Structure 1
Amino acid sequence: MSEENAKKIVHVHLPKNEKFKTTLTAGKHELLADEPEHVDGGNDKGPDPYDYLLMGLGSCTLMTVKMYAERKNWLLEDVFLELRHNKRHDEDCENCEDPKSKIDVIEKELIIKGDLSQEQVDKLLDISKKCPVHRTLESDIRIESTVTK
């Protein structure tokens, strides 16, 4: 980990006068998160937390794909990614009746524009699965939580 990343802190604040609207700060960048209006107390003032998860994965994926294509001098004109998150039963579900038996599934659809061969397109799909955030989400993750009063 670089020294710069080791010192980077993302700050998240949910004021007492807000139900869900949260301010997220990363360096000089400030964003809002909220729940949609159909969630009791949500005002849809920003993306929900899963939207941010997908946006982080999506931006890392596209940066990785573009960087690879540029290194290879491939004629990649434009690249998009559509992502969806849902929970569903695994194919070999043993306790399918139990709602807790569902797994999280993220679907990524890579949309590529450019004069590329099928082999190049296939390679870009493969590369899209190797971005650092994708690898992190597929790895064993440990979250260490503490509290300060």
Structure 2
Amino acid sequence: MAKNSDKKKIVHAHLPQEETYTTTLTAGKHEFLGDEPKSVDGGKDEGPDPYDYLLMSLGSCTVMTIKMYVQHKGWENVEDIYMELRHNKRHDEDCQNCEDPKSRIDVIEKEVIVEGDITDEQLDKILDISQKCPVHRTLMGDIQLESSITKK
């Protein structure tokens, strides 16, 4: 997990004219593909969809944060840590206009799975720490998206 610095991180996304949805994503020296599933007209399933990347970002940050904490505490009884994440859209419990698709909210379910001879107190602390990873905090905080456009 990278430390915050004054330097802005830049990630590139490129969708060439000849492609329907297959997008090349680069972050530094790393390159990935994003796509839509074949169930979406024109999707080729050449890579994860954008929500998969969002969940992978949250999952990787969370398990890294937990591992750092477990190592710091010297909890050698924690043998393995992994996660399952799910995303869906549903209506809020007190939905006033449930027929309107815009009234649905995004829900991300995070399930931390820990292997080892762990105490209930350790499990509680690991769950607490899982909610303190930087990406979790970003998603739960106030987010400001600033958009601009450039013509070449």
Distance across 2 between alignment mates of 1:83 and 1:46: 17
Instruction: Name which of 103, 118, 122 aligns with 2:124.
Output: 122
**What residue number does 2:5 align with?**
2
**What residue number does 1:95 align with?**
97
**What residue number does 2:67 align with?**
66
Worse overlay, 114-123 or 44-53: 114-123
Deviations 1:55-93 (A, max 9, x none): 000000000011101111112110110000000011111
2:78 maps to amino acid: L
**C-alpha deviation, 1:18, in angstroms:** 0.2
**What residue number does 2:16 align with?**
15
**What residue number does 2:109 align with?**
107
Normalising by structure 2, we get a TM-score of 0.94
Q: Structure 2 unaligned runs (5+)?
A: none
Match of 2:87, SS state, is strand
Distance across 1 between alignment mates of 2:59 and 2:80: 14
**What residue number does 2:133 align with?**
131
Worse overlay, 85-94 or 23-32: 85-94
The number of aligned residues is 147
CA RMSD in angstroms comes to 0.9
Distance across 1 between alignment mates of 2:128 and 2:94: 25
**C-alpha deviation, 1:8, in angstroms:** 2.5
Distance across 2 between alignment mates of 1:114 and 1:61: 18
